[in-house]
Structures are given as structure tokens and as C-alpha cells.
Chains A and B, each alone.
Chain A
């Protein structure tokens, strides 16, 4: 059951989702930090948290219409390529990473800003301070984003097309096995998916050695 094609599919899935997560993090983190430094955030919070649950297939449909040969972004020639899945997944997980990161740093960030300013940190030094003091929360939100990306199906199907050897991901392969009635294969692949996701998560946590100590005087 584990053959070259399966290994290729797994590698491809991980690569696509990792890229998507990286890209999404690049814009999500600044957004989360900016939001955390504001006071009147209820409205934005509500929208953000609602968007976390956007159905992947809906986003996939919208992107398909954009990338389609008769759509406005046809010239990018992205449809049915892995790149389209990367873009789609990065959009899908942005609300998740942003809101998780935001929730994780919200309490600390304002205080860090005060502390940094009061001790004479420049703008850049403030940023360094934020990242240094909050990176466990940031890393956690990135891992969450990755898990969502690697487990999504709607986007991979709609803009990827589940083409064998090219845009087949673990999730679309599972869907195909189910459609074929090959349930055992589907479950094995599904467990592989979860295992790789867990392994990746453990690896990241280990590398960044998350420290859970609370620093506040309460």
C-alpha cells in the first residue's frame, strides 16, 4: 500500500501546505500584532473569528472562478497546478493564524509596548522585543495554520483537480479512495496524514523549545 506514488503524494501535500503556511504567516503576524495594539477591536475580532470557519470548498469555488480560463486571473495560468492550492490554502488559514496569534499576544503586547517605550526602545527594537517575548504563541498559531492547511480538501479539489502525480494531495487521495470504496486504504492514508501532522508539530515545538512560564506579577 505504501508505494512510490503514496510517498510522492505525502511529500507533495507537506510541501504545499508548508509553503502556504509560510506565506500566510508573513502577512498574518503583522496583522495580529497591529490588531493587538488597538483598543476598539470587537468588530474586527468578530469578522476574523467568523472567517476562520469559511468552508474550504466555498473559497475553492471563488478561486476557481478567478483562475478559470474565462476568469479575470486566467493569465496567471494557475488553475490545476500546485501553486493554486498554495495560494488557496494560504488564504484559507490567514484568519486562523491571525486570530490565534492575536489571542495569544493580545494581553502581553500592550504591556510590552509600554515597557519598551519607557525603557527607550526604537520602533525596530520594539518589534524585536515583541517577537522575542511572544514567539511561543506565534509558533503555536503557525502550527495550527499548518494543520488546517494540510487537512483541507475543498481547495485542493476545486483548484487542484486531484490530478495524479501532479496535484494529488493526501486529502484528495483519501477522498478518491472513499469514492472508490477503498475504505481501508483511505483510513491508512488518513492516519498517515495525522501522523505527519503531529510529527511536524512536535518537531517545531522541540526546535523552538516553548517555555510556558508566566512572567506577570498578578
Chain B
């Protein structure tokens, strides 16, 4: 009996000490919570930007909460985060119009690409537009030759995919070759790799997973930097329900990213391999990007 009491006492002591430590850490800095998408978060870009930001503002701590797009904006709506960084213009527009988020800061873009098996039975590599690539997949699918993996989760990638199917005037409902996984980008790529199927992916996530050695069966089959339908735009917002003190700092962070695009974003992810860029700054084409944002905000309707 005594033994147990001693153990219990030690346990309680450990618990109390732990609490003390955490309370101490809690009060050290001002924390700004930012919601973002899992796929953006795993590229590591945000942690990198936050680290650079912290060099200048040492008493600020940026916490990223990575969830799905929908959830990220919901968190902003509920006031649980001060900022959101997402890349889905049509959903963003809804929340801007509903006064949930404000202060749009577009800071980067990259591309959607069609990835698929090297064998490319749908001949996507010969397509001249994203629309044509999808048409080819559709036709090859109906012939039973290929499979397409859709995100199926109302993410920006998913909505873009749906937009393209609409433009191509083809039907994907009830098709056996159209698999909707309801998963995030990384998982969709893994499934596509397993099934040697096609999917639409942002270039950054694809690079992350390819470099991790997870996609031996997939190649980029369609990538066209002049095809505006492939452009994926990243924006940061301030949550309206953010407290005044935090608001100042989130605004500073967004400005910081915007000001330092050339140095931070342009070179991110280029290491020894020095190959495809993961993100592009918008400095040289800001107006076009903003127009595209408006375009996609209106277009991608369910």
C-alpha cells in the first residue's frame, strides 16, 4: 500500500511539474494561430517563412494548424485562428463576401499538372490544353484503358478539376474509371501511383512526394506554364474575429511574405537537385494573377 502511495505521489508531482512548464511556455510569447491546408503545410514552405519572420520578430510565435480547406476557413469563421493561408479562390470568395476574412494577400502561385503512368495510354502528353488532356483521359477511360483519381473533397484542386471536366463537356458521373477518394493531395497521389492512374496535382505536392520516393510509377504528363487554367494561386487572409494585438502581427506576417517574395519564395525547395520550382512569386505578373483569381472565384461553382 505504501509503495503505491509513493508512486502515486511521484506521478502527481510529475504532472504538476509538467503543467508548470507548459504554463511557463504558454506565457512566453505572443502566439498567432494560422490555419492552412495540409498539402501546403507539408511542403514546409510556411515553417520556412515563419522561421525567417521570427528572426525579425523574436517575441512572436506563429502556430500553423493544418487541416482541410473547408475546416481552415471554418476555424477563421469561429475565430479560433487569426489568419488563413489557402489556395482555393472560389471558396475564399464566399468567406470574403460573408465578412469572415479580409485583407487578401496573394503571395505566390504554382501549377496544376496532370500526372499519370509512364505508359500514358490516354496520350495525355500529346494534349495542348488541360481541357484536351481531360478529354483524352475521359475517352481512354470509357474504353477501359485508364483510371482517374479525383480528390472528391471540395478542395481547390477538386474544384479546378470539376471546372475542367465542365469545360471539356464530358460526363464523369457513374463512370467506373473515375475514382473519388475524398482524401488529401498526397493520398490521392499515392493511390494514383498504386493503380497507375491519372490525377490532377499541384506541382509542389508532387515534388515533395516524388522526392520522398513514393511515386515511382508516376510522371508529369501535362504541364503548361502558359495555360492559365493550370494556375494555382496562394493567398493569405486575416480573420475578422482576430484580436487587435494579434491582428497587427498577422498583417505584418502577410506583408512580410509579400515584400520578400523574390528572396524567400522563388528559391524555396531548390536544393542540390536545382530542378522544378515549387512556388513562384507573383511580383512580375501581379495584375494577371489577380485577374485570374477573380476568374476562378467566379467560375468554379459546384
| Contact surface of A with B, Cβ cutoff 8 Å | 15, 18-19, 22, 68-71, 79-83, 132, 135, 161-164, 166, 176, 179-183, 207-208
Contact = CB atoms under 8 A, between A and B. Distances in A.
A180 B88 CA distance: 21
24 contacts: A18-B14, A19-B18, A22-B12, A22-B15, A68-B80, A70-B77, A80-B63, A81-B26, A82-B22, A162-B65, A162-B66, A163-B63, A166-B25, A176-B66, A179-B42, A179-B184, A179-B187, A180-B42, A181-B42, A181-B186, A181-B208, A181-B214, A182-B212, A208-B4
Nearest to B16: A19
Contact of B65 (A19, A80, A83, A181): A80
B33 A181 contact: no
Contact of B79 (A70, A80, A82): A70
A19 B15 contact: yes
A161 B63 contact: yes
Contacts of A176: 42, 66
Interface in B185-208: 186-187, 190, 208
**Which of A71, A179, A181 lies at the interface centre, i.e. has the most chain B CB atoms within 10 A of its CB?**
A181
B64 interface: yes
A180 B186 contact: yes
A74 to B, nearest CB: 8
Given A80-B33, A181-B214, A182-B212, A15 B18 contact: yes
A18 B38 CA distance: 29
B63 A180 contact: no
Return the 10 tightest CB-CB contacts between A and B, nearest first: A69-B79, A181-B212, A161-B65, A163-B63, A181-B214, A181-B209, A180-B42, A70-B78, A15-B18, A68-B78
A69 B38 CA distance: 22
A71 B78 contact: yes
A154 to B, nearest CB: 13
B27 to A, nearest CB: 12
Nearest to B26: A81
Interface of B: 1, 3-4, 7, 11-12, 14-15, 18-19, 22, 25-26, 33, 38, 42, 47, 63-66, 77-80, 184, 186-187, 190, 208-209, 212, 214, 241
Main secondary structure of the interface of B (DSSP, over half): helix
Contact of A163 (B12, B64, B187, B241): B64
B160 to A, nearest CB: 21
Contacts of B33: 80, 161, 163
B3 A207 contact: yes
Given A22-B11, A163-B63, A179-B66, 5 more contacts: A161-B65, A180-B42, A180-B186, A181-B186, A183-B212
A168 B42 CA distance: 15
Contacts of A69: 78-80, 241
A68 B11 contact: no
A180 B44 CA distance: 10
A180 B212 contact: yes
B273 to A, nearest CB: 16
Contacts of B15: 15, 18-19, 22
